[in-house]
Copies of this chain bind each other. A is one copy, B any other.
Amino acid sequence: MPSICSNSNWGPMRKIDEWTITQAVLDAQKECPSPRLKTIVTSLVSHLHAFAREVKLTEQEWHSGIQFLTDAGHITDDKRQEFILLSDTLGLSTLVTAQNTIKPSGFTESTVFGPFFVANAPEFPNGADIANGAPGEPCFVSGTVRGEAGDAIAGAGISVWQSDEDGFYDVQRPEVTQAQGRGNLRCREDGSFDFKSIIAAPYPIPTDGPVGKMLMALGRHPWRPAHLHFKIAAPGYEDLITHIFRADGPYLDSDAVFGVRSSLIVDWKRHAPGAAPDGSMSVVAYYTVHYNFVLYPKKRP
């Protein structure tokens, strides 16, 4: 055994340089009780170190990185999630979503969750107006939820959320204290659902924090194409987290969070004032959009 006071036989922990540090960190976690955690952190540390060596990260750049994460942490609260925004804009969210939701064609594609979902949104019956006062042109949304053989999934739970015509979600407006443009519904026996809302609009992701500054520095714009979020859940099926996108809008080919999938782009039809799908007479122009969702069966463990 090397003596602590001896100048010879220094262990590897005392001869660390920019190359040997990686193995020293991995050696330190050799007693990790969770094989999965060990696998994850081994890969994370290896890639983190490889990155820092590859670009020969300077101490000043390292400080900037620490400051960036600190700023992201401080702007994050119960209504703002800068780390999800960071993951979204760096494509990590899309990668993780994609590799965990590989499905044969015919099933509705998943896309990113985003930072604006709110648990415990209000419940609505079919046909209700979920906009609840959010500003925007009226839009009647309808669809079906089916399984792989085309069978209706009665009672499937649907959560929807969207921004208003100014591009803000309710949680981004300090003056709005009630849910607007979000709600939970259930499919009818035949798998159909419908509700009234407002037209989805393109919007920039929040640019007043470090992620916005990052996009600017990278020469990237912060815009997302107009979309409506869906989370659909039913027993025996994988949860589906997705959006539908407006075919007639900009940014479909440069979504700031890489969420667009061609199969999720839909025509949102504009109608002149007159008889609306809910039987009322609309004095303003309105939109309709329809989408048929196909859920993927849950694999038995």
Contacts and interface: CB of A to CB of B under 8 A. Distances in A.
A30 B221 CA distance: 12
Contacts of A83: 66, 69-70, 73
B62 A69 contact: no
B40 A94 contact: no
Contacts of A16: 94, 98, 258, 260-261
Contacts of A272: none
Interface residues of A, number: 84
A97 B49 CA distance: 12
A81 to B, nearest CB: 7
Nearest to A49: B95
A292 interface: no
A96 B52 contact: yes
A93 interface: yes
A104 interface: no
B29 A219 contact: yes
B55 A4 contact: no
Interface of A: 4-5, 7, 10-11, 13-18, 21-22, 24-25, 28-34, 37-41, 43-45, 47-59, 61-62, 66, 69-70, 72-74, 76, 81, 83-84, 87, 90-100, 217-220, 247-249, 252-255, 258, 260-262, 265, 267
18 contacts: A4-B247, A13-B252, A15-B262, A22-B91, A22-B95, A25-B91, A29-B218, A31-B219, A33-B219, A44-B51, A48-B92, A49-B91, A49-B92, A59-B100, A62-B93, A69-B73, A72-B73, A73-B73
